[in-house]
Structure 1
Amino acid sequence: MLSDLLAGAVADAEQRRAERPLSIVEAAAASQSPAIDALSVLAPADRVKIIAEVKRASPSRGTLASITDPAALAVSYEFGGASAISVLTEGRKFLGTLADLEQVRAAVNIPVLRKDFIGLPYQVFEARAAGADMVLLIVAALDQATLVSLHDLVRQLGMTALVETHSAEEVDRAVSIGASLVGVNARDLSTFQLDQNLFGRLADRIPSGVVRVAESAVKTAADVAHYRSDGADIVLVGEALVTSDPIRTLSEFLAV
């Protein structure tokens, strides 16, 4: 599944590049206001922080919410206390677009993450051109040389990479490139099975000074508390927010 998602995202990016050459996207990225320092915003604190996700659908659950106004949803997330907004821009399975990210960036004052299957420098420039402050890099989807080069490019453009892992070996790969924001996804992107205890097993491999993000398998405040007790600084939440009253749900999650 992961290889198919990456291949589709890269193919779609190549199509966009044919219509909008890299030179134009680079110029658009250069003209953007500087990215927000996401590491400062997401620095560990006495209470857990939430990255709230704009997510219409997923391969495992199908359509979750129509989200006709992603900016309005993001504003409600910010009002509810989210520290950052994740915007899914993958179109085939998650029904997202870069326009969603642009609309969200224009509406909120907190960091915005482009969550997609990134395999090309073009996609990183697209993210900055659309106003992203953060970019997701999935270790399992990239060989080490590509991971290093994309991570370096994200930094060069003033953004922060959320480097996502699913195993001890992947955490070690993320740490070896100097990742400052490391996520552990409870969902295996090859099988889409969930393991909520994976974060706890891997957290100690993430060095002090690196921000630890727990991703997926969050439905209730108890799930957030579980991740927090295992050492998560940040919890990324999507489905539980788009299928509920987001402000009320955020209030419950942030109270743990």
Structure 2
Amino acid sequence: MTILDRIIAQKEIEVNELKAIYGFKQQKPVKRKSLYESLQQSDTMSVIAEVKRASPSKGDINQKVDPVAQAKQYEIAGATAISVLTDRQFFNGSMADLSAVASAVPELPLLCKDFMIDRIQIDTAVDHGASIILLIAAALEEEQLRDLYDYAKSLELDVLFEVHNEKEAETALRIGADIIGINNRDLKTFNVDLAVTERVSALIKDENIAVVSESGIRTREDVVFAEAAGARAVLVGETLMRTDDITATMNEIRIPLRKAVR
């Protein structure tokens, strides 16, 4: 059983618990800036800055982090959006972290970073202030992905549709995803290879689709590589969680965008 299999099994337990708690129709999310519009309008590399205490692949990253203080620093440093890990068992995150960040940073797009397998999780994310949800192609069948994508869009949420290979990218395109995250980390082996962004992005010809390169972004050179491959944004967690100077690190990676040629 892979780590992803274990995570999805845990999510099924959590979904049953949530369904016992939530017995009412959720409200539409509080309006924030649109992630999609922000990505399309920016002339510099957009950064989705992540609040992340730990991960299965890296172990403890920054267990003492104050999510609110971290998020405010991200906002001051020029982050386009903020991602908050809400998975408790594998990433030591929580919905309380998301809610606290939502209150402290009320304008920036806010991603609930979790493994979504059911509509009830989307409702819960909205309840805690999210304006973006994550869908992971490797976690579900296409029919399930389409249902969750359409449901999120009906709530006026942005969807970061995460893929790792060409087959998953084709699924994203069929569903109509307008923000496609290319994860350089294989969720089954946890190996990281930035060339995944280069290879998979080549399939995404439509300039109206925003490409986000995820995982393994550590240096300016990594960002230059991702930009040349067609990414308009990078999702950065560990590097920003470990740095002693968030502003300096952010300035390094917010490079000017050239016209991507695919």
Q: Provide TM-score, normalisation by structure 2.
A: 0.92
Aligned equivalent of 1:43, options 40, 45, 48: 40
Q: Could you tell me whether the CA contact under 8 Å between 1:22 and 1:122 is conserved in 2? A: no
| Secondary structure of the corresponding residue to residue 202 of structure 2 | helix
CA distance in 1, matches of 2:32, 2:5: 30
CA RMSD after TM alignment: 1.4
Render the CA deviation track for 1:174-208: whole Å, top value 9, x for unaligned. Answer: 01111000010000001101111010011121122
Q: What is residue 129 of structure 2 aligned with on the other side?
A: 131
Q: Distance in 1 between matches of 2:203 and 2:147?
A: 23
Cα pair 2:53 2:65 within 8 Å, conserved: no
Q: CA–CA distance in 1 between the matches of 2:101 and 2:37?
A: 20
Are 2:47 and 2:79, in contact at CA under 8 Å, matched by a contact in 1? yes
Structure 2: distance between partners of 1:6 and 1:82: 30
Checking the alignment, whether the CA contact within 8 Å between 1:67 and 1:73 is kept in structure 2 is no
Q: What are structure 1's unaligned runs of at least 5 residues?
A: none
Conserved? CA contact 1:87–1:113, under 8 Å: yes
Pick the aligned partner of 1:200 from 189, 198, 201: 198
After superposing on structure 2, the runs of 4+ consecutive aligned residues of structure 1 that deviate more than 6 Å are: none
Q: Is the 8 A contact 2:224 2:255 kept in 1?
A: no
Q: How far off is 1:67 after superposition? A: 4.2
Question: For 2:213 and 2:132, how far apart are their aligned partners in 1?
Answer: 16
Partner of 1:85: 82
Which residue matches 1:159?
Answer: 157
Count of residues in Structure 1 that have an aligned counterpart in Structure 2: 251
1:142 aligned partner: 140
Quote the Cα distance in structure 2 between the aligned partners of 1:142 and 1:168. 16
- Per the TM alignment, residue 35 of structure 1 is displaced from its structure 2 partner at its CA by 4.6
Determine helix, strand or coil for the equivalent of 1:124: helix
Q: Partner of 2:259 in structure 1?
A: none
Residue 61, structure 1, aligned to residue 58, structure 2: yes
Does the CA contact (< 8 Å) of 2:202 and 2:229 recur in 1? no
For the residue of structure 1 that corresponds to 2:227, the secondary structure is: helix
In the alignment, the residues of structure 1 paired with residue 125 and residue 186 of structure 2 have an alpha-carbon distance, to the nearest angstrom, of 25
Q: How does 1:164-183 map to 2 (within 5 A)?
A: 164-183=162-181
> In 1, distance between residues paired with 2:104 and 2:22?
27
How far apart are the structure 1 equivalents of 2:183 and 2:199? 12
Counterparts of 1:216 and 1:87, CA distance in 2: 15
Tell me if 1:185 matches 2:187: no
- The match for 1:11 is 13
Q: Describe how 1:210-249 pairs up with structure 2 within 5 A.
A: 210-244=209-243, 245-249=245-249
Letter of the aligned partner of 1:211 in structure 2? A
CA contact (8 A) 2:48 2:235 kept: yes
Kindly state the Cα deviation for residue 220 of structure 1 after the two structures are TM-superposed. 1.3
Deviation of residue 219 (structure 1)? Answer: 1.3
Paired letter, 1:34: K
Whole-Å Cα distance in 2 between the matches of residues 39 and 50 of structure 1? 13
Q: In structure 1, what residue type is equivalent to 2:219?
A: T
- Assess if the C-alpha contact under 8 Å between 1:44 and 1:233 holds in 2: no
1:21 aligns with 2:46: no
Per the alignment, residue 253 of structure 2 pairs with: 253
Q: Tell me how far 1:92 sits from its aligned partner.
A: 0.7
Deviations 1:21-67 (A, max 9, x none): 241xx33x34x423542211221532211000000000011010024
Give yes or no for contact 1:44–1:211 (8 Å, CA) kept in 2.
no
What is the Cα deviation at residue 131 of structure 1?
1.0
Structure 2: stretches of 5+ with no match in the other structure? 257-262
